[in-house]
Amino acid sequence: MGGKIDHSINQGKGPYTFRMGDQNCHRIGTLVPTGDVRPKFCQLYIYDMEEEVQNRKNAISPGDPSRFNDELIRLLENMIDSHNTIAKTFRKVRDRLAVNTDSEVSIKLISRRSSNGRTYNLPTVSEVAALIEGDIGPHMEKRDIIVRRSCVVYTIEFKKRGLPHAHIVLFLHREDKFPTAADVDKIISAEIPNPTTDPVLHSVVCEYMLHGPCGKAKPSCPCMVGDNYSKYYQKPCTERTTVDGDGYPIYKRSKKGVTVIKDDVPLGNNFVIPYNSQLLLKYRAHINVEWCNQSRSIKYLFKYINKGSDRVTMQSSYTRCNEENPGRFDKIKRFYGCRYLCACEAAWRIFGFDIHYRTHAVERLQYHLPDEQPIVFHDDDWVDEVVENTSLGVSQFLNWMGCNNSTVEEMQVAEELLYCEFPTKFVWKKKVRQ
């Protein structure tokens, strides 16, 4: 049993209390016993199968193992092996070890500069993940991004860093499109709060919203590309919020602000990531808030929508003994381009949460003039079946109107009005394999 045990609760005169907190776990230990230690727990499913019954008796009662019935133990083993999913998994490990006693298999994740860095980046945390080989198909296509005036667009990114990231764009009302510097300061801050007047916000900003240290103080920081700062920190200090010539905001960062020590390096306001104090206090997490007034800023979100699934290059090495020369080993290496499915993304999809979301949803409805609709069929389809298919005469627009309880006459009039307002050249098409 593993977990954080609270021993301080028993310092009084009350009855003894056992209390555990945080994330509890069950330690299964090694799959094979080490040294002269007898097998126990999950090792009983894998190690020394010929003596499994005796090993189980010794594990339960080392002093008097003969008091157990061997036949009853075998019946229980067969029942568990047949119906228990976890037991079946351990048996597979046993079978694998029994077949490949003279071979070693290892898996390595490869970092390649030629691959897409946002998709093929290596994980920076220790986590459980599934590698799915060959998970690339026609469904992995680019998406059409349509931006409308209205409420929100967001996408969820799984960066192989533990918890997922949400990238959100909120479209403001036209009266709020070009706020003043005072309006921006009410929403976005880029300074370390005073620890005396606002201690709670100060501690949260120092924990979640400080970039670095980087540069000469820490050249190994992930934001460093050689000797260059990829995130453009540290930021210039200024006494008021302004907008530069390219339309980007320059947030207020006072030179006389508070300084904190992080990794033995002093950090000031020029290392603060812009934030909203209300959101930061409510969620206690890294929440970067920016004011975007250019299409280049909005593209920052859309690149994650088009990014596709996380992937990784996996190298599997298989070493086995040469049958002709037992002293010689053959090494085989194979490389796979795999889909990287972390535990957070798996849970996200199991619960059916949205990966990409927008409101209001936009759906393109196709319409056509009578008998001028496109028709798609295969070359081995019967002509009579194609001609008699009643769905060919109904456009997507008519179907949508039908779902909204409109009459046939109303639908036809609406479609004709649409054609008059948006004249388009319609052609009859068919798809035939040559």
Mean pLDDT within 59-65: 84
- Which tens digit of pLDDT belongs to each residue from 255-305? 888 899 988 888 999 899 999 999 999 999 999 998 876 666 566 666 766
Strand order in the sheet with 165-169: 165-169, 152-157, 356-359
Considering only the C-alpha atoms of the chain, give the largest distance between any 2 of them, rounded to a whole number of Å.
Answer: 94
**Per-residue pLDDT at 187 exceeds 60:** yes
**Per-residue pLDDT at 324 exceeds 60:** yes
- The residue ranking higher by pLDDT, 317 or 206, is 206
pLDDT given at position 32 = 75
Q: What is the spatial distance between Cα 24 and Cα 57, in angstroms, rounded to a whole number?
A: 29
8 Å CB contact between 103 and 318? yes
Please, which pLDDT band fits residue 428 given cuts at 50, 70 and 90? very low
| Closest to 199 in 3D by CA, of 211, 207, 190 | 207
| Closest to 314 in 3D by CA, of 338, 282, 332 | 338
pLDDT given at position 278 = 94
Mean pLDDT within 42-60: 82
Please state, in angstroms and as integers, the Cα–Cα distance from residue 302 to each residue in 154, 286, 295, following that order.
Answer: 9, 20, 10
Q: What is the spatial distance between Cα 52 and Cα 81, in angstroms, rounded to a whole number?
A: 13
Q: What is the spatial distance between Cα 171 and Cα 166, in angstroms, rounded to a whole number?
A: 16
8 Å CB contact between 395 and 191? no
Please, which pLDDT band fits residue 432 given cuts at 50, 70 and 90? very low
What average pLDDT does the chain have?
A: 76
Q: What is the spatial distance between Cα 367 and Cα 372, in angstroms, rounded to a whole number?
A: 10
Count of residues making up the chain? 434
- Which tens digit of pLDDT belongs to each residue from 225-249? 777 777 778 888 999 998 777 667 8
Q: What is the spatial distance between Cα 222 and Cα 208, in angstroms, rounded to a whole number?
A: 16
Q: Are strands 104-110 and 152-157 parallel, antiparallel or unpaired?
A: unpaired
Q: What is the spatial distance between Cα 209 and Cα 390, in angstroms, rounded to a whole number?
A: 60
Q: How close are the terminal C-alpha atoms of the chain, in Å?
A: 67
Please, which pLDDT band fits residue 52 given cuts at 50, 70 and 90? confident
8 Å CB contact between 430 and 375? yes
Q: What is the spatial distance between Cα 184 and Cα 293, in angstroms, rounded to a whole number?
A: 12
Mean pLDDT within 75-102: 78
Please, which pLDDT band fits residue 40 given cuts at 50, 70 and 90? confident
**Per-residue pLDDT at 143 exceeds 50:** no
pLDDT given at position 427 = 37
CA angle 253, 255, 257 (to 5 degrees): 80
Q: How would you class 99 by CB atoms within 10 Å of its CB: exposed for 0-12, middle for 13-18, buried for 19 or more?
A: exposed
- Which tens digit of pLDDT belongs to each residue from 337-366? 788 888 888 888 889 888 877 776 666 676
